[in-house]
Amino acid sequence: MTFGEAKDKFIHTWGTLATQWGINRSMAQLHAVLLISPEALSTEDVMEQLQISRGNASMNLRDLMDWGLVYKQLKPGERREFFVAEKDIWKVARQVAKERRRREITPVVEVLNELKAIPADTPEAQEFQRVIGGLSSVVGFADNTLNAVIKAEENWLIGQFLNVFR
């Protein structure tokens, strides 16, 4: 396999993987291009490499910056903006966990806590509370797990995984 083939395969695979994180494929592929680039790239560079429109590139760069995965980098004498991805994969994993928690888990926790206050004075309301309680347990576990990843240092996380398999 040539470098070009390996690069294309990585970009495609990263795009597929990241859809599991709640990131769209184009955004993930753009992230992959920046992740493996040895230098900051302009919007035009990204457009050319991925064969995407300026609007698509600009929107996804903005979203990646919102996620904390990509940063602007200024180059002296250049009017164009350049972008660089966070290269520390452990930081990327923690940032993705943090954003997923903020965007997905926290709002669900708030709603479930509100629903727990409904009086269980009928059989239907009791069943409702039983289901809400179960959901709260699962969502609480997910929240605690993501929180552990967010707060984890690389060595601690590796140790936790190794302990699971012992």
- What pLDDT score was predicted for residue 150? 81
- Alpha-carbon distance of 98 to 104, in angstroms, equals 10
- What pLDDT score was predicted for residue 41? 96
- What pLDDT score was predicted for residue 164? 59
User: HSE (CB half, 13 Å, CA atoms) of 101?
Assistant: 18
- What pLDDT score was predicted for residue 148? 82
Cβ distance 43 to 55 under 8 Å?
no
- What pLDDT score was predicted for residue 83? 97
Q: Where are the beta strands (DSSP E) in the chain?
A: 41-42, 70-73, 82-85
The one-digit pLDDT tens for each residue of the chain (166 residues) are 999 899 999 999 998 887 877 678 999 999 999 999 999 999 999 999 999 999 999 999 999 999 999 999 988 898 999 999 999 988 888 888 888 889 889 999 999 999 998 888 999 999 999 999 999 999 999 888 888 878 876 555 565 655 655 5
- What pLDDT score was predicted for residue 131? 94
- Alpha-carbon distance of 159 to 121, in angstroms, equals 47
